[in-house]
Amino acid sequence: MKLILGVTGSISAFKAVEIMRLFQKRGHEVSVILTASAQQFIPPLTFETFAPGRVHAGMFTGEDDVLTHITICRENELLLIAPATANIIGKIANGIADDLLSSTFLAFNKRVVVVPAMNSIMFENIAVQENVLRLKSRGIVVMEPDEGSLACNTEGKGRLPSPEAIVDFCLKS
């Protein structure tokens, strides 16, 4: 299978490297789209080391052609967004396409899996919950976040599941 891994600006973005590696170890080809916020947590070079030529850091970076959001959709079967912040969930639930990842989502007409990761209060916010329900109602698969210790030194639901659990979920769902 060929898939796109969309990585957003969450402290758990570092786990996306392991998600990519696990898919690769199972024989899958992974392209990566990093949002600008994700790049504040983990640089493109980290992904490029394991996926040369398949890492996209922005829509108008000069590295990618302006139609990347269209061409990348043609060659992939799955779009996985992990971690998915409240920001990207809100954008894709409401049809906002102001970066490469959100534009790719709107152009992607195959299977999409979204894995939220954020503070539990943010995750429980009615706006986020309504956006998650909107995605589900449109056939988007949403993997529930785990409960546990969060980066903000609290406990709650919002933790990104383990990379193994995400890969298994995507391959089984």
Q: Please report which confidence band the pLDDT of residue 60 belongs to, taking 50, 70 and 90 as the band edges.
A: low
| CATH number of domain containing 145 | 3.40.50.1950
Query: How far is Cα 52 from Cα 20, in angstroms, rounded to an integer?
Result: 12
For residue 77, the tally of other CB atoms under 10 A from its CB is 13
SS (H, E, C) 4-69: EEEECCCHHHHHHHHHHHHHHHCCCEEEEEECCCHHHHCCHHHHHHHCCCCEECCCCCCCCCCCHH
Query: How far is Cα 107 from Cα 64, in angstroms, rounded to an integer?
Result: 16
Active site includes 152?
yes
Identity of the amino acid at 4: I
Interval 109-164: pLDDT, tens: 999 999 999 998 899 999 999 999 999 999 999 999 988 776 777 777 888 999 99
DSSP 75-130: T-SEEEEEEE-HHHHHHHHTT---SHHHHHHHH--SEEEEEE-S-HHHHHSHHHHH
Task: Look at residue 28 in the predicted model and tell me its pLDDT.
Answer: 96
Parent domain of 16: 2-172
Phi, psi dihedrals of residue 11, rounded to the nearest 5°? -60, -25
Q: Please report which confidence band the pLDDT of residue 24 belongs to, taking 50, 70 and 90 as the band edges.
A: very high
Catalytic residue among 1, 96, 152, 165: 152
Query: How far is Cα 21 from Cα 59, in angstroms, rounded to an integer?
Result: 24
Q: Is the pLDDT of residue 173 over 80?
A: no
Interval 71-87: pLDDT, tens: 788 899 999 999 999 99
Query: How far is Cα 149 from Cα 24, in angstroms, rounded to an integer?
Result: 28
What total of structural domains would you count in the chain?
Answer: 1
Query: How far is Cα 23 from Cα 134, in angstroms, rounded to an integer?
Result: 28
Q: Is the pLDDT of residue 34 over 70?
A: yes
Task: Look at residue 147 in the predicted model and tell me its pLDDT.
Answer: 84
Task: Look at residue 66 in the predicted model and tell me its pLDDT.
Answer: 57
Whether residue 85 contacts residue 99, with contact meaning beta carbons closer than 8 Å, is answered with no
